[in-house]
Amino acid sequence: MYSVGIITASDKGSIGEREDVSGKLIEEIVVEHGYQVVHYIVLPDDRTTLKNEMIHMADELNLNLIITTGGTGFSQRDITPEASLEVIERNVPGIAEAMRMNSYKITPRAILSRGVAGIRGKTLIINLPGSPKAVKESLEFIIDQLDHGIKILIGEDSECAR
């Protein structure tokens, strides 16, 4: 069972003015797929706060997977990808590309998502959009492949060849 941290980036959610539907949906999906949510937090759209929380989850809690939701759009406060890029040591562009490709089949506005994915130590970090609909479409599209990637990352598997 792999450990997961969920971060919702939302100014309104962090002060209780908006319910965190997307973060709860992420939790539901990952638990259905056999993952264990160890840490779940709603934070304001603040680059330093988001960055420090990702570092804490990866380096101190040693989580296998961090999934963020929110802060991937064009708003001035949408800085989750920038915070993530400061934390990530190795990029995994295929994950973000696959999510955008799949979402583009549903809406052309998918090209406006700026989410990234990458690795810090032995932790995989993935940015999801903020809308529950986009979270469901994106996460359900990639989740079956994450198990193998995490196994390789933590040394439980050694190659991708079948």
Output the pTM of the full model.
0.96
Q: Is residue 39 part of a domain?
A: yes
pLDDT tens, position by position, 18-42? 999 999 999 999 999 999 999 999 9
**Separation in Å, CA 153 to CA 93, 111, 114:** 16, 28, 24
pLDDT tens, position by position, 121-152? 999 999 999 999 999 999 999 999 999 999 99
Distance CA 101, CA 118 (A): 18
Q: Is residue 13 part of a domain?
A: yes
Q: How many CB atoms lie within 10 A of CB 48?
A: 10
Q: Is residue 161 part of a domain?
A: no
Domain containing residue 118: CATH number:
3.40.980.10
Q: Is residue 162 part of a domain?
A: no
Which candidate, 62, 30, 56, places its Cα nearest to that of 43?
Answer: 56
Q: Is residue 160 part of a domain?
A: no
Can you give the residue range of the structural domain that contains 123? Answer: 3-154
Q: Is residue 106 part of a domain?
A: yes
55-58 contact pairs (CB < 8 A, 24+): 55/87, 55/120, 57/5, 57/7, 57/123, 58/87, 58/120, 58/121, 58/123, 58/125
Q: Is residue 79 part of a domain?
A: yes
| pLDDT for 118 beyond 70 | yes
Q: Is residue 159 part of a domain?
A: no
Q: State residue 14's pLDDT score.
A: 93
pLDDT band at 160 (very low <50, low <70, confident <90, very high): low
| pLDDT for 162 beyond 70 | no
The arithmetic mean of pLDDT across residues 43-58, rounded, is 98
Distance CA 38, CA 114 (A): 26
Q: State residue 161's pLDDT score.
A: 61
pLDDT band at 157 (very low <50, low <70, confident <90, very high): confident
Distance CA 133, CA 55 (A): 28
> What total of structural domains would you count in the chain?
1
